């Protein structure tokens, strides 16, 4: 009767761990991409206001 049970965990542990890592990686990408929804809202900011801010940040970043 023991031969009818699934043997994936015993026969191919590398595959099982790769699948677990895949799920964990996708969850981490979901968490990391949540702030991009906020960044997408910056598109609604008018160009005449956004351009000087971006330019100032570039200058500050270059001098630091």
Q: Which of 1-5, 28-32, 39-43 has the lowest mean pLDDT?
A: 1-5
Q: How confident is the model at residue 5 (pLDDT cuts 50, 70, 90)?
A: low
pLDDT at 23: 96
Per the document, the length of the chain is 64
| Residue 1 reports pLDDT greater than 60 | no
Q: How confident is the model at residue 34 (pLDDT cuts 50, 70, 90)?
A: confident
Provide the token pair at 64. Answer: 């630091």
Give the residue from 1, 63, 17 showing the smallest Cα distance to 9: 17
Alpha-carbon span 19 to 25, nearest angstrom: 10
Average confidence score pLDDT of the chain: 87
| Residue 55 reports pLDDT greater than 90 | yes
Question: Quick one: residue 6, left, alpha or beta (phi over 0 = left, psi -120 to 50 = alpha)?
Answer: beta
């Amino acid at each position: 009767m023991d031969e009818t049970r699934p043997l994936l965990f015993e026969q191919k542990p590398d595959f099982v761990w790769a699948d677990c890592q895949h799920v964990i990686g996708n969850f981490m990408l979901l968490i990391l991409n949540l702030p991009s929804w906020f960044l997408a809202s910056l598109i609604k900011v008018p160009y005449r206001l956004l351009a000087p801010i971006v330019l100032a940040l570039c200058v500050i970043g270059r001098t630091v």
